[in-house]
Chain A
Amino acid sequence: MRKRSILARKENLEGYLFILPWIIGFCVFTAGPILFSVFLSFHEWHIFDDMKWIGLGNYKMLFTDPLFYHSLKVTFEYAIINVPLVLIVGLLLALLLYPKVKGTSVFRTIFYIPSIVPVVATATLWIWIYNPEYGLLNFFLEKIGIDGPDWLYSTEWVVPAIAFMGVWTVGPTMIIYLAGLEDIPQVYWDAAKVDGANYWQRLRYITLPLLSPTTFFLFITNLMGALQTFAQAYIMGGGGEGFGAPANASLFYCLYLYEQGWSWFNMGYASALSWILTLIIFVLTLIIFKTSNKWVYYERS
């Protein structure tokens, strides 16, 4: 017994030794900066001057900053459009790909390809698609008799446009839904079929409830991603003008945070902004978790 525990301890030690490079990297490049940003958020600091302790000053200033509210509004508008849309389309694609017919793997690949394109390339491509004069989208809209808007150049449409683009990169959501579907035992459907339930009834009363843990997971992760949107807005705003163009209509929260930090060097304020976002995400996740027992069904219970 004794010998084994020594061996176990030795193995433990070796294990830690093996992951030591990662631990050091994590402390220096991840945990360190995170803690430092907490510290920073209570200071006024413009990189070159000395840090000045101002307590909750940065957080107080947030509440009188109209652009803070504005960028929050923009980000939520995006999330409200993007997240449900991605979930619905992801589920739809998964349902279409689930039946065992020939060629599903080809279709799976097709639907997933856009998701492996780097976001910068996707954004650049979509600037062109959204071009009001020469773009692909308004060309098709015109064909069906709709006079398309100015998309990225319009204050009303720039955020929805960026949100719609998210559907094109629905791949990961679709794959996870597909995995969720594969997990559902065939017998449930067969039993329901015998009972005379049609496709919609089976979908409504069997598939969706049994998929609810998947939906729950995807909802939270997609929401977190949506609230942290940066690159798309940075590249696409105003058709490439960036930084909230046109007229701040695409000033996403993270863009504003970046602007405060790197255009105006308000490092303390930028840190405070990032912690408020963290807090918002945390609270939202908590709320979703708390309400989850009302709509998420686990097979075991």
Chain B
Amino acid sequence: MKKGIYLKYLRTLFLYIALITLSIAFIMPFLWMVTTSLKSGEDEIFSYPP
């Protein structure tokens, strides 16, 4: 029985990890857009890494 609860927690944890990773992937373009729009000047915008 204890093992079952463990498994359940593990599963929920996995679920959250997956959801959060995917959320980041979906939100990343927005974040990038917002941060880019707040940068001034070309040198900052085209700095690499972004």
Encoded as 1 (CB less than 8 Å from any A CB) or 0, chain B from 32 to 46 comes to: 110010000000011
Known: A101-B12, A136-B28. A125 touches B33 (CB 8 A): yes
In contact, A110 and B26 (Cβ under 8 angstroms):
yes
Q: Does A134 contact B (CB under 8 A)?
A: yes
Q: Which of B18-35 contact A (CB under 8 A)?
A: 18-19, 22-23, 26-30, 32-33
Alpha-carbon separation in the docked complex, A221 to B22 (Å) = 25
Known: A125-B33, A136-B50. A111 touches B22 (CB 8 A): yes
B16 touches A126 (CB 8 A): no
Taking a contact as CB atoms under 8 Å apart, the answer to whether A110 and B27 are in contact is yes
| Complex alpha-carbon distance, A136 and B32, angstroms | 8
Residues of the B chain whose Cβ atoms lie less than 8 Å from the Cβ of A136: 28-29, 32, 50
Using a Cβ cutoff of 8 Å, how many contacts connect chains A and B? 49
Known: A96-B15, A107-B19. A125 touches B48 (CB 8 A): no
Contacts of A164 in B (CB 8 A): none
Q: Are B22 and A93 in contact (CB under 8 A)?
A: yes
Say yes or no for A113: interface residue by CB 8 A criterion: yes
- The answer on a CB contact under 8 Å between A99 and B29 is no
Q: How far is the CA of A110 from the CA of B45 in the complex (A)?
A: 26
Q: Which residues of B contact A110 (CB under 8 A)?
A: 23, 26-27
Beta-carbon contact of B48 and A96 below 8 Å: no
Cα of A87 to Cα of B21 in the assembled complex, Å:
19
Q: Does A168 lie at the interface of the complex (its beta carbon under 8 Å from any beta carbon of B)?
A: yes
Q: Are B26 and A114 in touch, CB under 8 angstroms?
A: yes
Q: Which residues of B contact A125 (CB under 8 A)?
A: 29, 33
**Minimum-distance CB pairs A-B, first 9:** A110-B23, A107-B19, A134-B46, A136-B32, A139-B49, A125-B33, A96-B18, A139-B50, A96-B19
**Interface residues, chain A, with chain B CB atoms under 8 Å away:** 93, 96-97, 99, 101, 103, 107, 110-111, 113-114, 125-126, 128-129, 133-136, 139, 168
